[in-house]
Structure 1
Amino acid sequence: MPEAFTNSKRIGAVATVALASLALSACGQAPEAAQPGAAGASDFTACMVSDQGGFDDKSFNQLSHDGLLQAQEQLGIKTLEAESKSPDDFEPNMTAMVQQGCNVIIPVGFMLADSTEAAAAANPNIDFAIVDYDAIKADNVLGLNYDAAQAAFLAGYAAAGASKTGTVATYGGAAIPTVTIFMDGFAKGVEHYNKEKGKDVKVLGWDVKAQTGQFVGDFENQTVAQQITEGFLSQKADIILPVGGPLYQGGAEAIKASGQEAYIIGVDSDLAARETQYKDIIMTSITKSMDKSVLEAIKMSVDGSFKGGTYTGTLENDGVGLASFGAFESKLPAGMTDELAQLKADIISGKIKDISPSSPKA
């Protein structure tokens, strides 16, 4: 049976916070956002279906859910949500949202692509904005995707420079493009550091050319995540990138138990800000502004300007980025922040390109 959906409490209209419009490849610049209290807003229902991992994963599900809650607060709309515990929940949860009369449905994650495509085809009067997927071509489907490889490249470069052992590592939840795009960027950043500095920092867990590496097999099994991390630590890796929603917890626990000086890099949201119990071993996070893009998609559905197409978050439009290093900044080599700023500029200008085969195509 699907996880029961929740009818969130309606919150009255409040002052809108100005946000940058989405750049939509299919329809140009997004129109002005709907204003709070707009006619019909109180009768509008925005809905969300999570990927496995749930809305409290401190990663992409939770960050997307933040956008839904922001829309509820700013626009005075109603919301419904369905939390998926496994892939078996995707289709029934999507069906439940359709049956509840949702005006727009936000499926969170690449793994919901099939159920989204089927629901969108069967319900052309419902808008769908799917997070982390852009291959559904339909007038009522907007793909919200993010070139995470760009920001991961910066993280890999910084990790290579900060590593004391000369070995870093990464692992993923599943071998899908929205996971491997981070791993590609991270490994390519290390490779670039080695080339620029004449070093030989090693990357465990991922081979960019072969597109093979270490995976838990799902986004739930913390025991396997911990075991993989223990293996990396035994090979002297001291900075580790877990790409798999809540799977960072297994990695963090392995580091704490080892007593070694090692750190993790978060993904999607600023992990140090959300997960204070591990903040001392979080180097930085590779972020995706899913909350902002979800909010903007809902605003367009509310004001009637929603169209199918694609939004791509990049370093240039702040759709992806690198969170603050916080206390870890003092551990970075001298001049690293300036080097990262230049690398960001080089990626934006196109001087550095073709980072990942999973990057969204222009």
Structure 2
Amino acid sequence: MTILSRKTVVSSVASLGVVALAAGCGSAPDDSSSSASGDAGDFKPCMISDTGGFDDKSFNQLGFEGLQEASKTLGVEPITVQSNSPTDYDPNLSNLVDQGCKLIVTVGFNLADATKASAEANPDVEYAIIDDSSIDASNVKPLTYDTAQSAFLAGYAAASFSKTGVVGTFGGSQFPTVTIFMDGFADGVNYFNQQKSKAVRVIGWDVAAQNGSFTGGFEANEVAKNTAQGLIDQNADVIFPVGGPIYQSAAQAIRDAGRPIALIGADADVFESDPSVGDLLLTSVTKGLKEGTNEAVTSAGQGNFDNTPYIGTLSNDGVGIAPFHDFSSQVDPALQGELDTVKAGIVDGSITVTSPSSPK
């Protein structure tokens, strides 16, 4: 069965503030030093985070960990910096260039404009940007992920697990890197309905209209909790927050609800990255951010940088879903086999999963 393509509708959103551990232009946190196990000469890898900071237990943290692993392999000392606001992006990049960074990894769609400007001004510096493919430059390597594919599996699992027949999703800001998850999730629910003659309803995101529920940022706060509560009030018993730490607020709303509601994590296997919510997690939609960053930095450090875009898919294990962990005994015993079959169909092309936000 094929899920039909939709017209591209992507909303532009104002830039967001950035939660920071280091103010403005800064040096690496204390834990960014690495023991040497290789020799990359004067190669100096650097990274700038987006919102949430390097301890967000999600998107930024995975990129940071990939940088650390690569730096250890190469035997070099990385420099990392976090920004207080979007106005810090340009000066932070300039600061890293001035410090002699050979490769600068920028974490997130928000940094695309600043990355492009810096790359054009410094053609001898190499760059890698996570979750953006808009920059066409010989010294910029995009690292992107087709999470519509993995979120499709999570949507199928959510529909299978739901007892109320209602599942919900909401995002931080309406960026393509957020809505791609929501598209895949909703389509996975619909595919389950088609295969099982069910009518599980998705709330919080309208695929056709490309609009839904967003908090306006990526902070764990009352807005995020209230947004999750709005889904709970509509009888959702599976909730998929997409946007870094906002899952923490959803977890609070779930605990306050006093009834069984499952959470789905995004980016990392949140069961492992944040055990405090492990008992709530049905699964997580994962992106190989750590592995992709590690590979890009290591290759550059070995003199093998190239600007060929990387796209993580189910086929190359760049995206996936986490195990059911504590929910293993609660899901339908047939579910994992069904997911394996669906995954195989996506990989061989017999099931088409598309999103206006899928990387090209």
The DSSP-based 3-state class of the residue aligned with 1:44 is coil
1:221, distance to aligned residue in structure 2 (A): 4.8
- Please tell me the residue identity of whatever aligns with 1:57: D
In structure 2, distance between residues paired with 1:135 and 1:2: 26
- What is the distance in 1 between the residues matched to 2:92 and 2:321? 33
Query: Partners in 2 of 1:355 and 1:91 — Cα distance?
Result: 34
Partners of 1:47 and 1:97 within 8 A in 2: yes
Map of 1:231 onto structure 2? 230
Partner of 1:37: 39
Structure 2 counterpart of 1:300: 299
Give matches, 1:154-173, under 5 Å.
154-173=153-172
Aligned ranges 1:1-362 → 2 under 5 Å: 2=24, 4-6=26-28, 10-14=33-37, 36-38=38-40, 40=41, 43-361=42-360
Alpha-carbon displacement from aligned partner over 1:31-69 (angstroms, at most 9, x marks no partner): xxxxx225x1xx221000000110011111000000011
Q: Is the 8 A contact 1:7 1:79 kept in 2?
A: no
Identity %: 48
CA distance in 2, matches of 1:206, 1:85: 30
1:10 deviates by 4.2
Which deviates more from structure 2 when the two are superposed, residues 180-189 or residues 96-105? 96-105
Q: Is the 8 A contact 1:219 1:246 kept in 2?
A: yes
In 2: Cα distance, 1:3 partner to 1:53 partner: 16
User: Tell me, what secondary structure is at the counterpart of 1:61?
Assistant: helix
Say which SS state the counterpart of residue 142 (structure 2) adopts: strand
Say if 1:10 and 1:76, in contact at 8 Å, map to a contact too. Answer: no
Residue 48 of structure 1 aligns to a residue whose secondary structure is strand
Q: Which secondary structure state, in structure 1, belongs to the residue aligned with residue 163 of structure 2? A: coil
- The alignment's C-alpha RMSD in Å is 1.3
DSSP-derived class of the 1:182 partner: helix
How many residue pairs match? The answer is 337
Mark the CA change 1:100 to 1:3 in structure 2 (over 3 Å): closer, same or farther: closer
Name 2:8's counterpart in structure 1: none
Q: Please give the alpha-carbon distance, in whole angstroms, between the structure 1 residues aligned to 2:27 and 2:116.
A: 21
Conservation of the 8 A alpha-carbon contact between 2:220 and 2:247: no
Assess if the C-alpha contact under 8 Å between 1:130 and 1:143 holds in 2.
yes
Unaligned 5+ residue runs, structure 2? 1-22
- Equivalent AA in structure 1 for residue 39 of structure 2: G
1:11 CA drift (Å)? 2.9
CA contact (8 A) 1:53 1:84 kept: no
Amino acid at match of 2:35: G
How far, CA to CA, are the matches of 1:221 and 1:127 in structure 2? 33
**Secondary structure class of the residue paired with 1:267:** strand
SS in 2 for 1:174: coil
Give the Cα separation in 2 of the matches to 1:217 and 1:304. Answer: 40
Contact 2:47 2:106 survives alignment (8 Å): yes
Normalised by the length of structure 2, the TM-score is 0.91
Query: 1: distance between equivalents of 2:44 and 2:99?
Result: 9
**Cα shift readout 1:52-94 (whole Å, capped 9, x = no counterpart):** 1100111110000000110121111111011123323222222
**1:219-266: per-residue Cα shift (whole Å, max 9, x none)?**
115211100111111111011000000110110011111112101111
Structure-1 separation of matches of 2:179 and 2:194: 22
